[in-house]
Amino acid sequence: MKCLTSHLRSLIRQCTRRSSLPTGRKIHAIILTTGLANIPTSFLNNTLLQFYAACGDTFSARQLFDKIPSFYKDYVDWTALMFSYARHTFPRNALHLFVEMRRGGVNIDDVVMVCLFGVCAHLEDVGMGIQGHGCAVKTALLESVKVGNVVMDMYGKCGLVGEVRCLFEEMDQRSVVSWTVLLDNTVKWEGAESGRRVFDEMPERNEVSWTIMIVGYVRNGFTCQGFALLGDMLSLWGSSNFVTLCSILLACAQSGDVIMGRWVHVYALKLMGNWMNIMVGTALVDMYAKSGRISSAYKVFQHMPQRNLVTWNAMLSGLAMHGKGTLVLDIFPKMIKEVNPDDLTFIAVLSACSHSGLVEKGWEYFKNLESVYGLKPKVEHYTCMVDLLGRAGRLEDAEILIKHMPMPPNKVLLGSLLGSCSVHGKLQLGERLLRQLVEMEPFNTEYHILLSNIYAMAGKQDNANLLRQILKNRGIRKVPGMSSIHVGGQAHQFSAGDRSHPRMQEIYLKLDDVIRRLRSAGYVPNTTLHVFSGIERDNTEGVEEKEQALFSHSEKLAVCLGLISTKPGTPLYIFKNLRICQDCHSAIKIISKIYSRKIVVRDRNRFHCFHEGSCSCSDYW
């Protein structure tokens, strides 16, 4: 008998090592027929529990866990279940289990602590993190460098950078990881310059710390410093690994820094030749697409020797953002021959239809989602459809769709419909949506602005003013629009009416010139939609002031800097945090013609490529 149970245990352990869930389940079924598992001393249930936990079937693991009498449960069983929760399904249950462990007097070691703080960081649960910190002090586990590092990391992820620094200073022993956690958080929360001071102080550095510092520079627009450091790193380490290259490319995509991105591309080609690594290739596609170079993205994509689902999704959503809807629909059939599409794929496909006004095609894909591709439509897919119908002016159809949704609509979906109401001047629906949205998110100013646009369009200036008063009384401020442009190895950021740039005088002189030429080309500033441009006085000068405020919108200032600091004919790439306004959109169209420049603007939702007086979005955004 003893021999049989030990034989069965070793079989289960083999399944654990190979994470072979089906075989393990079969063995479990056989064991049930023998009744051996009911004898606690056989420890078969314990072995099975560890097997299910490791293979990610936390439900079965928990069932066995509850069956085993506490006397026969040891540290291994507890931690197996805790790790399974943390890694596979319900991270919060790992925290509950930790509390049970403490109450049950189960021994706790540094491995459990690392798991606990990992979960707290992931959930950004600082309350539980502080309790765990207390426990680590009491049990003297904080003396372990490993535990100290994860506590620091947890505080950093929760945004308490002061705590990170305190803990770091109190540590008796510090490893390169401790320094790296400090560096990472300093760069993230205090900027690249403060980060550099930590970096220079570090007694030793690994590839991770170098990468964090370079990425910090790129993300904050300091391309020159990023380049210098990358050069140092390469001469020190010989070459750079794929993870570093991908992190740099991701940072380039976020900041729109294509100079650095291109350099990494050339470097990757030298390193890998034609056999581009799939991760790096995908990061390149993403970087080029997000920094406005969609044709470069497509070229990299076509030349990749291997592509996976992530690559395809990056390509499709890139094309969608650039309004290349027909191309997305053209290559989609090729995709399903290579890989199985997932949720993200269809978000890209549907938003491509939306950005290109392909209503019927969008409907078709949406209807096929479950029947053909076996995917349950999620709220994101409904949002795409509502957006698609709303943009096309079919607001009634959008409302019907919302009524038939199996889940409640979220704020993104309703906000998108409100945006369509504002474009199509649907006053009543707009008012209804606003009421719903304000309940969900009382401090979001954008909804009020959209509704005020609807009022302004309907000629109800009084209501628009009332809304503005409400915002003012509540002390709600509008999110400031910011635009940035990369010139001379540096990102330059502007807010509306900004006067802080060192070349401010030249910029405003150029702006005067631009406006003069715009006016003679027949441009009329569109002031009706801008009741919230920050004008407080309502007098006869109002219109002129509104015009002035429109002229100094951040994207126009960025365009002017681009015009004065690059050679004639150089394309300009501008990144904006909010949606581009209608006035800037029509002004930049004309600028692209009179100054013969291609101007690409990435706003919050998509790309606009202005060329020869028209935009790639065909005024449909």
Checking DSSP bridges between strand 614-615 and strand 607-611, what pairing results, if any? antiparallel
Region binding Zn ion by CB under 5 A among candidate stretches 73-81, 208-216, 285-293, 607-615: 607-615
* Shorter beta-carbon distance to Zn ion: residue 467 or 581: 581
Nearest in space to 423 (alpha carbons), one of 554, 556, 617:
617
How many positions of this chain bind Zn ion (CB under 5 A)?
A: 6
Q: Is 608 in the site for Zn ion (CB under 5 A)?
A: yes
Q: Is 518 in the site for Zn ion (CB under 5 A)?
A: no
Region binding Zn ion by CB under 5 A among candidate stretches 280-288, 360-368, 417-425, 602-610: 602-610
Q: Is 615 in the site for Zn ion (CB under 5 A)?
A: yes
CB of 322 to Zn ion, least distance (A): 11
* Shorter beta-carbon distance to Zn ion: residue 86 or 617: 617
Nearest in space to 285 (alpha carbons), one of 603, 264, 488, 579:
264
Question: Rounded distance, CA 117 to CA 127, Å?
Answer: 11
* Shorter beta-carbon distance to Zn ion: residue 311 or 605: 605
Collapsing DSSP to helix, strand or coil, 494 comes out as: strand
CB-CB contact of 395 with 426 (8 Å): yes
> In this structure, what token pair is assigned to residue 134?
């207390």
Instruction: Name which position in 245, 280, 581, 588 contacts Zn ion (CB under 5 A).
Output: 581
CB-CB contact of 494 with 226 (8 Å): no
CB of 585 to Zn ion, least distance (A): 6
Region binding Zn ion by CB under 5 A among candidate stretches 7-15, 393-401, 560-568, 600-608: 600-608
CB of 615 to Zn ion, least distance (A): 3
Q: Is 617 in the site for Zn ion (CB under 5 A)?
A: yes
* Shorter beta-carbon distance to Zn ion: residue 322 or 492: 322
Q: Is 449 in the site for Zn ion (CB under 5 A)?
A: no
Tokens 């352990």 belong to which residue?
Answer: 13
Region binding Zn ion by CB under 5 A among candidate stretches 152-160, 376-384, 471-479, 575-583: 575-583
Tally Cβ neighbours within 10 Å of residue 419: 22
44-55 and 21-34 are packed helices; what angle lies between their axes, rounded to 10 degrees? 160
CB of 553 to Zn ion, least distance (A): 3
* Shorter beta-carbon distance to Zn ion: residue 255 or 552: 552
* Shorter beta-carbon distance to Zn ion: residue 456 or 584: 584
Region binding Zn ion by CB under 5 A among candidate stretches 61-69, 93-101, 520-528, 547-555: 547-555
* Shorter beta-carbon distance to Zn ion: residue 265 or 530: 530
CB of 608 to Zn ion, least distance (A): 3
Question: Rounded distance, CA 377 to CA 371, Å?
Answer: 11
Q: Is 553 in the site for Zn ion (CB under 5 A)?
A: yes
Complete DSSP assignment for 584-609: HHHHHHHHHHHTT--EEEE-SS-EEE
CB-CB contact of 584 with 555 (8 Å): yes
Q: Is 531 in the site for Zn ion (CB under 5 A)?
A: no
CB of 380 to Zn ion, least distance (A): 23
Q: Is 576 in the site for Zn ion (CB under 5 A)?
A: no
Q: Is 106 in the site for Zn ion (CB under 5 A)?
A: no
Question: Rounded distance, CA 4 to CA 43, Å?
Answer: 12
Q: Is 369 in the site for Zn ion (CB under 5 A)?
A: no
Region binding Zn ion by CB under 5 A among candidate stretches 220-228, 291-299, 412-420, 612-620: 612-620
* Shorter beta-carbon distance to Zn ion: residue 189 or 620: 620
CB-CB contact of 182 with 213 (8 Å): no
CB of 229 to Zn ion, least distance (A): 36
How far from 285 is each of 16, 124, 129, 250, 464, CA to CA, in Å? 38, 31, 38, 10, 44
Region binding Zn ion by CB under 5 A among candidate stretches 165-173, 387-395, 443-451, 604-612: 604-612
CB of 589 to Zn ion, least distance (A): 8
CB-CB contact of 611 with 589 (8 Å): no
Q: Is 62 in the site for Zn ion (CB under 5 A)?
A: no
Return the amino acid letter for 53. A
Residue 29, φ and ψ in degrees, nearest 5: -60, -40
Which residues are bridge partners to 483 per DSSP? 494, 576
Region binding Zn ion by CB under 5 A among candidate stretches 127-135, 283-291, 406-414, 581-589: 581-589
Q: Is 599 in the site for Zn ion (CB under 5 A)?
A: no
Question: Rounded distance, CA 618 to CA 621, Å?
Answer: 8
CB of 175 to Zn ion, least distance (A): 50
* Shorter beta-carbon distance to Zn ion: residue 366 or 575: 575
CB-CB contact of 490 with 224 (8 Å): yes
* Shorter beta-carbon distance to Zn ion: residue 28 or 553: 553
Cα-Cα end-to-end distance for the chain: 73
CB under 8 Å to 428, separation ≥6 — which residues? Answer: none
CB of 601 to Zn ion, least distance (A): 8
Dihedral, 113, 119, 122, 123 alpha carbons, nearest 10: -130
Site for Zn ion in 4-33 (CB under 5 A): none
Region binding Zn ion by CB under 5 A among candidate stretches 138-146, 356-364, 394-402, 550-558: 550-558
Question: Rounded distance, CA 490 to CA 247, Å?
Answer: 19
Instruction: Name which position in 584, 588, 591, 599 contacts Zn ion (CB under 5 A).
Output: 584
Question: Rounded distance, CA 561 to CA 488, Å?
Answer: 11
CB-CB contact of 80 with 58 (8 Å): no
Region binding Zn ion by CB under 5 A among candidate stretches 110-118, 176-184, 413-421, 573-581: 573-581
Sheet holding 572-576, edge to edge: 490-495, 482-487, 572-576, 599-602, 607-611, 614-615
CB of 155 to Zn ion, least distance (A): 40
96-135 core/surface letters (b: 16 or more CB in 10 A; e: else) = ebbeebeeeebebebebbbbbbbbbbebebbebbbbbbeb
CB-CB contact of 171 with 148 (8 Å): yes
Q: Is 355 in the site for Zn ion (CB under 5 A)?
A: no
* Shorter beta-carbon distance to Zn ion: residue 178 or 605: 605
> In this structure, what token pair is assigned to residue 589?
């169209």
CB of 173 to Zn ion, least distance (A): 54
Q: Is 324 in the site for Zn ion (CB under 5 A)?
A: no
Region binding Zn ion by CB under 5 A among candidate stretches 355-363, 482-490, 527-535, 546-554: 546-554
CB of 367 to Zn ion, least distance (A): 29
Contact residues for Zn ion (CB under 5 A)?
553, 581, 584, 608, 615, 617
